[in-house]
Chain A
C-alpha cells in the first residue's frame, strides 16, 4: 500500500484528484453501511451498558442484562415457542411448496395460470388480513387458538415465498434432466431425490432460511392466532409497553449473533458445487 501511494504521488495532480475520488467513494460506502448497521450497533452496545437509561456515553460495561435474561423464564419460553413455530412452519411450507412448484413447472393443467397467480397473492396480502381471516376460519371450524394455529397461519403466508423461489430455480433447470433420469430407469421418487432436489437445493435452502426468518419475527398473523402462548417478537412487543429495557437489547444482540451464525452456515452450505450449474 505505501509503495503504491509513493508511486502515485510522483505523477502529480491527476492522482491527487483520483485520491479524492477514492476517498469520497469510501465515505459513501461507509455512510451506506452506517445507515444499515448503526441501529444494530447501538442495540448491541446498550446491551452491555450498566445503566438502565439509554443515554450516551454509557456509564460502564456489564453482563448483568444477559444474566437477567437467563433467569427470565417467560422470555426463554417465548424464544423456544418462536423457534418451534418457525421450524415447523418452514418445514410445512417446504413439504407443500416444493411439490407445488414442481407441479407448476412440469405439468400443464387447466387453470394453471390462475393457480400460479393465486399462489402468489398472499405475498401482496397484508399480514393483518391473513391473520383476521385465519382467526375467523379457525373459530368457525371450532379449532383452538394455539401455536399450531400459528404454524398453519405462517405456512399459508410463506407458501408463496417458497413456491416463487423454487419455481424460479426449476424454470432454469432443463426438463431433459428429469426425462433422462426416467429414461435411465429411475422411478419418480428416485428422480426427485437423486436429480431434481440436488439441483434445486440452493433455492430450497435459500427459501427455507427466508421462510424461517420471516416466521421467526412475524407479529400480525401470530397476534390473531396465538391464544395464550407467546412468541419472542410478541413478548418483546408486549414488554415494550412498560418501556425499553436493556434486557430487550440483550436478547436482540443474541438474535443478531444467531443470524450471523445462520448466514455463515448458509454460505458454507451453498458454496460447493454451485459452479456446475450450466451443463
Chain B
C-alpha cells in the first residue's frame, strides 16, 4: 500500500470561523475513506480542498507524493461527484461523460468509445444520447459517477452523493458504489452525515467535529470501540452515563443511574475518577421470567418502539432512562412483548460496557 493523499496541518478559515482546524490525514491508494460528521463539521470543506475548490488558509496537501496545495482543480488527477450531480443540462449524457476527455484534446473517436465504456460500467450504455433531464435521480447519479471516472483519476471525491435519493434507492446505490469501487480500484473519498452509509461502504471512517478529526477507524472499530461520547452517540446509539469508579475486591464498580454494575477490568486504572461509560442498546439482554444473571439493571418499562425486526424497550431507572434492543423473536417468542409499566430487568456483561473519553478532555 502506498499513500496517495497526505494532508498536513490543513486549516481553512472563513472570516473568523474555523472551517477546518489543523487536520492531518493519510489516505492509502485504493482505499474507501468516508468523512463523517454533522453539517458544519468541516467535512465538505476538507473534501473541497482536496479537490482544489477551496484554497487552504494553512497547511499542505500532497497527491501521489507531489504538493498540490495551490494547484487548480483542472490540473489535479482528482475528480469529484457533486452533491447536485452538476450534470451539464445542455449536453447529452454521452457528451457529459466525454466532456473531461474532450477538453483535454483527446481524439473524437476515443472520447466516444471511452465515454461508452464508462457508461457501461454504471449500466447506462443505452442512454448515451439521452438528455440529463430525461433521467431519474438514480440514473443522473450514475452519469455523474461515469463522468468523474472517465479520466481515470487517482482519487474520486464524492460529496454527499446519495443525499438526494430516496431511502430505497440510497441503499441500492450504496451497494453499487461499493461494487464500483472494487471494479475500478480507485481511491474513494466520500463525505456524508449518514452513519449507516459510512459504516456500510467504507474501509475507514474519519469522524469529524467542529473542524477537527475526532476518531479514525474501520467501521467495526468505530462501532465497537468509540473513544468519545461524541463518536458513541453519532455512530449508532449508545446509553451513556457518568459514574465514579470504585475499585473493590471484586474489581471496579460503577453506578448506572443509581444501580451498581461491574465495570470492565480496564476501568481499574480510573479508580476514584468521574468517568463517562456507555453500552449499546443491543448488547444488553432482557431477562424473562425468573432468569437470573450477573450485572443486572432493574426498572420499569416506559415505552416499546416496534421496529419490525427488533423492538426498542425504553426502561425507567431511578435517575434516568436506558434503551435496550431486543430481536423480535425473543420479544414475541414465549410470552410476547412486555407490558408498558411492568417491572423488567436487563443484564449487561462487564466487557460490553465502553469507557468513553470526555469531549472536553479530547
Residues on A lying within 8 angstroms of B by beta carbon are 174, 176-177, 179-187, 190, 194-195, 198-199, 273, 275-279
- Would you give the shortest CB distance from A269 to chain B, in whole angstroms? 14
Q: Which chain B residues border A198 with CB–CB below 8 Å?
A: 90
Given A183-B52, A184-B100; 12 other pairs, CB 8 A cutoff: A174-B84, A176-B86, A177-B86, A179-B53, A180-B88, A181-B99, A183-B53, A183-B73, A183-B148, A185-B103, A187-B74, A199-B88
A183 touches B132 (CB 8 A): no
CA gap between A182 and B78 in the complex, in Å: 11
- Would you give the shortest CB distance from B54 to chain A, in whole angstroms? 11
**Of listed A174, A176, A187, A199, residue having the most chain B CB within 10 A:** A176
A186 touches B103 (CB 8 A): yes
With A174-B84, A194-B103 as contacts: A184 and B89 at CB distance below 8 Å: no
**Of listed A176, A181, A185, A195, residue having the most chain B CB within 10 A:** A185
Residues on B lying within 8 angstroms of A by beta carbon are 51-53, 72-75, 78-80, 82-90, 99-100, 103-104, 131-133, 140, 147-148, 151
Q: Which chain B residues border A275 with CB–CB below 8 Å?
A: 133
CA gap between A177 and B86 in the complex, in Å: 5
CA gap between A278 and B86 in the complex, in Å: 10
CA gap between A195 and B78 in the complex, in Å: 20
Question: How many A-B contacts are there with CB distance less than 8 Å?
Answer: 77
A273 touches B90 (CB 8 A): yes
Q: What residue of chain A has the Cβ atom nearest to residue B102's Cβ?
A: A194
Q: What residue of chain B has the Cβ atom nearest to residue A273's Cβ?
A: B90
A276 touches B90 (CB 8 A): yes
With beta carbons under 8 angstroms apart, the residue of A186, A199, A278 that contacts B90 is A199
Q: What residue of chain A has the Cβ atom nearest to residue B77's Cβ?
A: A185
- Would you give the shortest CB distance from B45 to chain A, in whole angstroms? 14
Q: Which chain B residues border A179 with CB–CB below 8 Å?
A: 53, 73, 80, 82, 86
Q: Which chain B residues border A187 with CB–CB below 8 Å?
A: 74, 103
CA gap between A243 and B88 in the complex, in Å: 57
B103 touches A180 (CB 8 A): no
CA gap between A174 and B83 in the complex, in Å: 11
A195 touches B88 (CB 8 A): yes
B132 touches A276 (CB 8 A): yes
B79 touches A183 (CB 8 A): yes
With A177-B88, A199-B90 as contacts: A183 and B133 at CB distance below 8 Å: no
With beta carbons under 8 angstroms apart, the residue of A180, A186, A273, A276 that contacts B82 is A180
With A176-B82, A176-B84, A279-B133 as contacts: A185 and B90 at CB distance below 8 Å: no
B87 touches A183 (CB 8 A): no
Q: Which chain A residues border B100 with CB–CB below 8 Å?
A: 184-186
B103 touches A184 (CB 8 A): yes
B84 touches A185 (CB 8 A): no
CA gap between A187 and B102 in the complex, in Å: 12
CA gap between A96 and B90 in the complex, in Å: 25
B133 touches A185 (CB 8 A): no
CA gap between A184 and B88 in the complex, in Å: 12
Q: Which chain B residues border A185 with CB–CB below 8 Å?
A: 74-75, 100, 103-104, 151
CA gap between A177 and B53 in the complex, in Å: 13
**Of listed A174, A180, A199, A278, residue having the most chain B CB within 10 A:** A180
Q: What residue of chain A has the Cβ atom nearest to residue B150's Cβ?
A: A184
B133 touches A184 (CB 8 A): no
- Would you give the shortest CB distance from A203 to chain B, in whole angstroms? 14
A182 touches B86 (CB 8 A): no
Q: Which chain A residues border B51 with CB–CB below 8 Å?
A: 183
Q: Which chain B residues border A174 with CB–CB below 8 Å?
A: 84, 86
B89 touches A276 (CB 8 A): yes
- Would you give the shortest CB distance from A158 to chain B, in whole angstroms? 27
Q: Which chain A residues border B131 with CB–CB below 8 Å?
A: 276
B74 touches A180 (CB 8 A): no
- Would you give the shortest CB distance from B103 to chain A, in whole angstroms? 4
B151 touches A184 (CB 8 A): yes
CA gap between A278 and B148 in the complex, in Å: 20
With beta carbons under 8 angstroms apart, the residue of A194, A277, A279 that contacts B87 is A279
Q: Which chain A residues border B83 with CB–CB below 8 Å?
A: 176
Shortest 9 CB-CB distances between A and B: which pairs? A184-B100, A176-B86, A180-B86, A279-B89, A186-B103, A279-B132, A276-B89, A276-B133, A198-B90
With beta carbons under 8 angstroms apart, the residue of B84, B89, B147 that contacts A199 is B89
- Would you give the shortest CB distance from A235 to chain B, in whole angstroms? 43
CA gap between A194 and B90 in the complex, in Å: 10
Q: Which chain B residues border A277 with CB–CB below 8 Å?
A: 89
With beta carbons under 8 angstroms apart, the residue of A182, A194, A279 that contacts B140 is A279
Q: Which chain B residues border A180 with CB–CB below 8 Å?
A: 80, 82, 86, 88, 147
Q: What residue of chain A has the Cβ atom nearest to residue B79's Cβ?
A: A183
9 A-B contacts, Cβ less than 8 Å apart?
A176-B83, A176-B84, A179-B73, A183-B74, A186-B100, A194-B103, A195-B88, A276-B89, A276-B131
Q: What residue of chain A has the Cβ atom nearest to residue B105's Cβ?
A: A185
- Would you give the shortest CB distance from A196 to chain B, in whole angstroms? 10
CA gap between A179 and B147 in the complex, in Å: 13
